[in-house]
Structure 1
Amino acid sequence: MTRVSLTPLTVADADEMVDVLSGDDLYAFIGGSAPTLDGLRALYTRQVVGRSPDGQAEWRNWIIRRVADGQAVGHVQATITERGRRAEIACVVGVGWQRRGYATEATQTMIALLFARGVDRIVAHVHPGNAASAAVAVRTGLTPTDRFDDGERLWERKRG
């Protein structure tokens, strides 16, 4: 049974997502702090364009919503490069909705969408101390590499 759906990001989602992204514990491994409503609206305004300013990367962002009630619980995103062949992915689930499998289900759905559109390689950056994100990576078929970027281990999955 599918418990979450992915809906394309809109600027209006900021009103609901500001609360979802409000827990300070959420930023222990990813850095930063909880966004303000104005800051989140500005970020979403840039993201919904769907491309980096130089046009080299395609951006795909989705809100994770529970199917039962439409409640937003987090977001997933993909930065697609190398002419559509490589995607760097990320998933954030609000503190109040963690440990329920939503991140795994949403990430599996996103990976399926990316592979269906022709992406060949998925990459995720996982902080070595973030056991929850590593568990999601394992459950979604990513494997750790020996490469690090800015202190985070790169995990990878190839289509096929």
Structure 2
Amino acid sequence: MQAEIAAQLAAAIETPRLWLEPIGEPHAEAFFQPLQQDEALYRWISCPKPTSLDALRRHWRELSQRQHRSPDGCLAWPVWALRRKSDGRYIGRVDAEITPALEASNLGYYVFSPFCGLGYASEAAGAATERLIARGVQRLVATVTVGNTASGRVLQKAGFKFARILPGNDVIRGVEMDDEEWLRVA
């Protein structure tokens, strides 16, 4: 993935209530404690808790240094920190994995528990989806753990359609889980 294309895909986005900022080392401090303490978050996502603040800083610094590309440079990895305009608090993130064919093979998001149910995930996921489509992404795929109906509603609001069940597609807390696959075609 060319660095210029990856940078365009990861550029900042503004919505009525949020700023979506390309995530980097400076965001680590604001995210570390919520990622450690928000147990409800890990009910639906398979990413592990960061091992330390320094490890999170290093991870996001390296992502920025790679210009929001995968370690091998083949994929764009736009990742945005969600910052609420009303008070400047960081409330979650949106990320995607973009192939050289400009397909989003994975769109993901989370909002910390105190901010769930307020429409922030829908606003952020919708804005990221529209940005990616405006930058040439023609097909977007997202997966949701079966049972996570709130996340399915977020994707519906962003124009995604349910496609199929993917048996055993993810492992959460050591348990194999089925996922719903959702698609959006530009």
Alpha-carbon separation, structure 2, partners of 1:61 and 1:32? 14
Question: Taking structure 2 as the reference length, what is the TM-score of the superposition?
Answer: 0.79
Structural mapping, 1:4-153, within 5 Å:
4-21=18-35, 22-35=37-50, 36-48=52-64, 49=66, 50-148=68-166, 149-150=169-170, 151-153=178-180
* Match in the other structure for 2:6: none
Alpha-carbon separation, structure 2, partners of 1:57 and 1:32? 19
Which of structure 1's runs of 4+ aligned residues deviate more than 6 A? none
Residues 1:129 and 1:147: Cα distance change in structure 2 (over 3 Å): closer
Deviation at 1:147, TM superposition (A): 4.7
**CA offsets per residue over residues 45-81 of structure 1, 9 Å max, x none?**
3332211122221110111111122111001001101
Deviation at 1:4, TM superposition (A): 1.2
Residues 1:127 and 1:53: Cα distance change in structure 2 (over 3 Å): same
Contact between 2:96 and 2:104, CA under 8 Å: does it hold in 1?
A: no
Task: Say how many residue pairs are matched.
Answer: 159
> SS of 1:59's equivalent?
coil
In structure 2, the gaps of 5 or more residues are 1-14, 171-177
Q: Which amino acid aligns with 2:134?
A: A
Contact between 1:11 and 1:45, CA under 8 Å: does it hold in 2?
A: yes
Residues 1:9 and 1:152: Cα distance change in structure 2 (over 3 Å): same
**CA offsets per residue over residues 69-105 of structure 1, 9 Å max, x none?**
2111001001101422334210110111111100000
> SS of 1:54's equivalent?
coil
% identical equivalent positions: 33
Question: Taking structure 1 as the reference length, what is the TM-score of the superposition?
Answer: 0.90
Q: Which amino acid aligns with 1:24?
A: E
Contact between 2:102 and 2:137, CA under 8 Å: does it hold in 1?
A: yes
Moved more, 118-127 or 50-59: 50-59
In structure 1, the gaps of 5 or more residues are none
Q: Which amino acid aligns with 2:114?
A: G
Alpha-carbon separation, structure 1, partners of 2:99 and 2:118? 31
> SS of 2:78's equivalent?
strand
Q: Calculate the aligned-residue CA RMSD, in Å.
A: 1.7
Deviation at 1:16, TM superposition (A): 0.4
